[in-house]
């Protein structure tokens, strides 16, 4: 294994695994697998990249650091030459962490200096300019992320926000230097390192900028960012003759289908609304979930009654509705109860022969993927074709593989749900 990724949630892990597997033309990508947590066995020796999915974005800081260091040790044991710490392209974190503390711990373990920080993902509208993070034409703090129930992002200045989380000095790699070429970007990194900057926030507004940054960090032990930062990394290894460039391999998966949505993002709510026009949908009564009157049996019964019709069950409330529920029951209690509901539902569907499952929401995806991996006793998820930017099809298991699509709340076109199920059946 050449590249190892430590991702702070499951959908983010799928996102960067997709980037590494796809690569860029003409070179192609890396043979990549995503793992639900730190594996307890060695990886397939034919893999060129491994992505470990953690639930460290919303975990307590100490737990996030410990889990990330455990992932690092396993990846180094597999021979990884370069480590990527992957966080969301909207830099989701509280003022107290977790991005800064985890990045510090990884840098300490790898003795890494001049570590790049770049969450940009221009394909989905996330860009960094003058050290500030934008979502399309809005600053991060005006994009809707300021209302996120777990990690409200109220400051778009990455240097300032990261500065709340780490005592390390933070530098800046401006866009004009990125545009000047790789020689200039390497000079800026060297200059910032001499100034004592441990982390360097890099501007990027196009994929070409990310490719330039990828060439800049070739051979560096640690890189941090969104999935976009990995765009140019396969090229480095393929051109060096270390990798083959045949990353995406997929065989069609057929069988019963289900869609589970646990995100309250505006994008997911729009996807649910469009899907509901032509497909059966069931809105989950979260109050009923908390009181025990809404159960796994209710969800499974609805899905099985609508087999073949792309049934969707969802708990995608508005920010106001979510806030009211959290104030009544507590944020962690609501999240844990819904995660358990979706995870157990997925396991029951698996027992009943369901092999195509689409999931929306980072926390929900993590719970479902981990539950399915445990039931199949298979931790490695192979990376298939891309459905929409940042969201690939994943397959898990060998004899009768299960196809998954794990969608971050804000990702995907409006018709994502139906399109994902259709693509799972298409081997072309």
| pLDDT tens for the chain, residues 1 to 428 | 999 999 998 888 988 999 999 999 899 999 999 998 999 999 999 999 999 999 899 899 999 999 999 999 999 999 999 999 999 999 999 999 999 999 999 999 999 999 999 999 998 899 999 999 999 999 999 998 998 878 899 999 999 999 999 999 999 999 999 999 999 999 999 999 999 999 999 999 999 999 999 999 999 999 999 999 999 999 999 999 999 998 888 899 999 999 999 987 888 999 999 999 999 999 998 888 988 999 999 999 999 999 999 999 999 666 677 778 778 888 788 888 999 999 999 999 999 999 999 999 888 888 998 899 899 988 899 999 999 988 999 999 877 899 999 998 888 999 999 999 999 998 65
Are the C-beta atoms of residues 7 and 18 closer than 8 Å to each other?
no
Topology (CATH level 3) of domain 3-239? Rossmann fold (3.40.50)
The whole-number pLDDT of residue 398 equals 77
428, burial (CB in 10 Å: exposed 0-12, middle 13-18, buried 19+): exposed
Q: Tell me which residue has tokens 């092999």.
A: 355
List, by residue range, all CATH 3.40.50.10840 domains of the chain. 3-239
**Phi and psi dihedrals of 328, rounded to 5?**
-80, -40
- Helix, strand, coil distribution of the chain in percent, nearest 5: 40, 20, 35
β-strands 391-396, 3-7: how paired?
unpaired
Instruction: List the one residue out of 360, 416, 366 whose CA is nearest residue 386.
Output: 416
DSSP letter (8 states) at residue 401: P
The whole-number pLDDT of residue 115 equals 98
The whole-number pLDDT of residue 319 equals 63
Q: Tell me which residue has tokens 């470990």.
A: 52
The whole-number pLDDT of residue 334 equals 85
The whole-number pLDDT of residue 9 equals 87
pTM: 0.85
Detail the DSSP E strand segments found in 328-401. 356-360, 380-388, 391-396
List, by residue range, all CATH 3.40.980.20 domains of the chain. 257-424
Three state DSSP letters for 234-250: HHHHHHCCCCCCCCCCC
* Homologous superfamily of the 257-424 domain (CATH): Four-carbon acid sugar kinase, nucleotide binding domain (3.40.980.20)
For residue 400, count other CB atoms closer than 10 A to its CB: 10
For residue 183, count other CB atoms closer than 10 A to its CB: 8
CA distances in angstroms from 342 to 117, 298, 335, 338, 417, listed in the order given: 34, 12, 11, 6, 17
The whole-number pLDDT of residue 323 equals 74
For residue 194, count other CB atoms closer than 10 A to its CB: 10
**Residue 59 token pair:** 């975990």
Are the C-beta atoms of residues 119 and 187 closer than 8 Å to each other?
no
């Amino acid at each position: 294994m050449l590249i190892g990724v430590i991702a702070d949630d499951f959908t983010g892990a799928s996102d960067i695994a997709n980037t590494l597997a796809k690569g860029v033309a003409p070179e192609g990508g890396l043979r990549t697998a995503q793992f639900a947590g730190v594996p307890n066995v060695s990886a397939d020796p034919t893999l060129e990249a491994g992505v470990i999915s953690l639930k460290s974005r919303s975990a307590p800081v100490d737990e996030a650091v410990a889990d990330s260091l455990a992932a690092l040790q396993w990846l180094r044991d597999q021979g990884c030459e370069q480590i990527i710490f992957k966080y969301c392209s909207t830099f989701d974190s509280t003022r107290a962490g977790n991005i800064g503390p985890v990045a510090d711990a990884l840098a300490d373990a790898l003795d890494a200096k001049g570590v790049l920080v770049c969450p940009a993902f221009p394909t989905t509208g996330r860009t960094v300019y003058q050290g500030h993070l934008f979502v399309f034409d809005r600053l991060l703090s005006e994009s809707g992320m300021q209302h996120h129930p777990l990690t409200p992002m109220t400051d778009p200045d990455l240097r300032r926000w990261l500065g709340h989380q780490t005592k390390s000095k933070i530098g800046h790699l401006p866009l004009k230097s990125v545009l000047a070429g790789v020689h200039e970007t390497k000079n800026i990194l060297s200059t910032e390192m001499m100034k004592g900057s441990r982390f360097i926030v890099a501007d990027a507004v196009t994929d070409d900028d990310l490719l330039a940054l990828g060439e800049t960090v070739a051979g560096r032990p640690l890189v941090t960012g969104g999935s976009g930062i990995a765009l140019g990394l396969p090229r480095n290894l393929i051109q060096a003759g270390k990798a083959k460039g045949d990353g995406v391999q997929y065989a069609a998966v057929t069988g019963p289908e289900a869609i589970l949505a646990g995100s309250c993002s505006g994008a997911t709510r729009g996807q649910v609304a469009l899907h509901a026009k032509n497909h059966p949908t069931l809105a989950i009564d979260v109050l009923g979930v908390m009181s025990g009157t809404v159960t796994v049996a209710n969800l499974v019964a609805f899905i099985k009654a609508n087999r073949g019709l792309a049934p969707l069950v969802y708990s995608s409330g508005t920010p106001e509705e979510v806030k009211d529920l959290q104030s009544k029951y507590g944020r962690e209690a609501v999240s844990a109860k819904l995660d358990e509901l979706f995870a157990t539902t997925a396991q029951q569907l698996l027992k009943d022969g369901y092999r195509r499952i689409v999931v929306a929401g980072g926390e929900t995806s993590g719970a479902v993927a981990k539950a399915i991996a445990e039931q199949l006793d298979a931790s490695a998820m192979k990376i298939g074709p891309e459905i929409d930017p940042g969201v690939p099809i994943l397959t898990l298991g060998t004899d009768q593989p299960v196809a998954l699509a794990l969608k971050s709340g804000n990702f995907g076109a409006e018709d994502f749900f139906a399109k994902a199920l259709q693509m799972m059946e298409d081997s072309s």
